[in-house]
Amino acid sequence: MIKQGEQRLVPKLRFKGFSEDWEQCKLGELGKDYSGLTGKTKKDFGHGESLYVPYKNIFNNHIVDVDNLEKVNVSSKQNKVKYGDIFFTISSEVPEEVGMSSVIGKDINNLYLNSFSFGLRPYEKSELDMIFSSYLFRTLTFRKKMYILAQGISRYNISKANVMKLEIALPSVNEQKKIGRLLYKLDSMITLHNLKKEKIEKLKLDLVRRLDFSLIEESDEVVLGDLIEIKSGYGFKSEEFSNNGIPLVRISDIDSGIVKKPGTFIKEDSKYIDFLIKSGDYLIAMSGATTGKIGRYTLNHDAYCNQRIGIIRGIENKIDNNYLEYVLHSSKFQHYISTQWGAGAQPNINLKQIKDYKLRLPKLSEQKLIGSIFANLNRQKDIHKVEQLLSLKELYLNKLFI
């Protein structure tokens, strides 16, 4: 029974018919942890009769994409993955990418887990809905707990033992199912509109290819650094995060060519003025699994930029800002970025590498013509529908969970 003055353990938003408090428990009470592949060398991967879940599959998907598993040769005893297992990444170059989660929603024979993640297998008696859990561990509330656990300087790691001590709040299984199904349906709508958005993106490139800009090949090569202003973000500490103030854009907010409405805030301070993002700026992920990912900031208010993100702003009369989008999304630029770290190395780029990119630039009038194609197609409702659905999902993740 709740005593007078005690705060109830309930979310801000609920389905009708549910009123009881959520119950707190530690992850270690829900299931048993296990390690990923051990004792493997490079020659063991890319062939064999077994499959494993790659790090990026976990990072990019709250439910494992079973069409993107990779081969591995397993001859010794290793921990096999089972339906319903929950995975957490344990290492990254930025703290906000540590502890990303995913669940496996299909039984696959001889499936294993990559070496840089660990698994949690729920006990049969634990009442944890799989789809609900796939969203629970990606909420900002839980992610903040992971940030605190991240240890390191140039590379961040988390301890499996410490993760298992983390506390979470759970509703009844019926309420879990309601929440999980709602968010899953919303994700399905986002996927549908993303497919339409991808068609628009393809149309952009096809239209540009059909235009005859002969002067591009005849023009001199220039370096991107002469056309843009670029700077990186600041390493804000998790203890500085607030529920109000100036929005803080993190790497995870860059999605599908746009920047989602941030769910984290920092109290305004003049010492952070150099890290402000303006509407129309382009952001680029500079480290981790999504290095090279581009998003355009279109919100009407300024935001702070977190570390390992580059802020790119076109210089007026040198490059059209809409044309700059074409440059940054081009396969040539993306390929260039992907070649800036060594084979097997953790993806990582710096400002100089971005500025050193060479391109042939058409005259400004032609840039504006190409840029106008992008601007007009960007106004298509499917692109903005994705933004709206992503914002709605963010709202639900913040309000439906504790």
Give mean pLDDT, residues 211-226. Answer: 71
pLDDT tens digit sequence for 148-194: 898 877 788 999 999 999 999 999 999 999 999 999 999 999 888 88
pLDDT value, residue 231 = 97
CB 119 within 8 Å of CB 36:
yes
User: What are the tens digits of pLDDT across the range 183-211?
Assistant: 999 999 988 888 887 787 777 767 665 65
pTM score, whole prediction? 0.70
At which residue do the structure tokens 């297998």 appear?
121
CA distance 346 to 341: 7
Q: What structural domains and CATH numbers belong to the chain? A: 23-170 (3.90.220.20), 188-399 (3.90.220.20)
Q: What is the 3-state secondary structure (H, E, C) of 266-329?
A: ECCCHHHHHHEECCCCEEEECECCCCCCEEECCCCCCEEEECCEEEEEECCCCCCHHHHHHHHH
pLDDT tens, 84-94?
A: 999 999 988 77
**pLDDT at residue 212, rounded to an integer:** 47
pLDDT confidence band for 290 (50 / 70 / 90): confident
Nearest alpha-carbon partner for 347 in 114, 24, 93:
93
DSSP state of 43: G
pLDDT of residue 218: 59
Residue found by looking up tokens 């298509």 in the block: 380
* % of the chain with per-residue pLDDT over 70: 92
On the question of pLDDT at 213 being above 90, the answer is: no
DSSP state at residue 262: P
Say how many CA atoms lie within 13 Å of 42 toward its Cβ.
3
Instruction: With H, G, I as helix, E, B as strand and everything else as coil, classify residue 285.
Output: strand
pLDDT in tens, 251-282: 988 987 788 888 789 999 999 999 999 999 99
- DSSP class of 110: T
